[in-house]
Amino acid sequence: CGNRRTTRCPSCAELYRQDTYHLIAAGLRGGKNIPDQVATHPRVFATLTAPSFGPVHGRRLNGSARCRCGRTHTKGDPLLGTPLDPERYDYTGAVLWNAHAPALWARFMLHLRRTIAAAAGVPQRLLSKVVRVSYAKVAEYQQRGLIHFHAVIRLDGPAGSYTPPSTWATPELLADAIRLAATRARIDGPEINGRARSFAFGKQIDTRIIRSTAFQAGNTITEGKVAGYVAKYATKG
């Protein structure tokens, strides 16, 4: 049937998951007409989340297991992700956030290229002559119904994946640039009932440097795990 959602068609979703895994893995370590040397290029796995539009029921991973409502929610509880106070929750903002999330991602990429160009000491219009930014992303709905993005971002040389970037283009520089660009990205929304809206990403911005080895420090992750995560998110729902 071609549906990639696990809740709709598990068999088609599994096929799509495997295809996605191999495509992402190739972009990280080579294969499928992508040179093996991309494994030496700076690569970061980033997660950009939505802001809060009001407190929701949730499960606590640290400290007390109790939700702010006083209950301890089990996995699969239908209350998870729903507003604690429906009368005060900003439903309009949540709906508009989801509608504007793709445009906000585009603005983030604009700021990311600007930030990297500044680090390189070149105008943004000349950045492609020094380094190219390649990425693959997937949008996932959080339990509270808001979109957030998972992305694999890679720096290549001026000729793309076949050339390495300059020595100044390190994984650490890329991770720092992602965090800075995510905090700067903002777009204007419509004015509703006299209130002007603007949208930015939430405070939870996660960046993990992708390594080829099995060794993982606190801010790193392996290629295989990244490919597995993206494939899973692409078929979720």
186-217, pLDDT tens digit by residue? Answer: 999 988 888 889 999 999 999 999 987 655 56
Task: Using pLDDT thresholds of 50, 70 and 90, give the confidence band for residue 28.
Answer: confident
Q: Is the pLDDT of residue 11 over 60?
A: yes
Could you give the CA distance from residue 130 to residue 155 in angstroms, rounded to a whole number? 10
15 located within any domain: no
Number of domains in the chain: 2
Tens digit of pLDDT for each residue in 61-92?
665 577 778 788 878 888 888 888 899 999 99
Give me the domain span that covers residue 141. Answer: 35-53+90-231
Instruction: Determine if the pTM surpasses 0.75.
Output: yes
Q: Give residue 201's Cα distance to chain centre.
A: 11
Could you give the CA distance from residue 184 to residue 200 in angstroms, rounded to a whole number? 8
Are residues 125 and 212 located together in one domain of the fold? yes
2 located within any domain: no
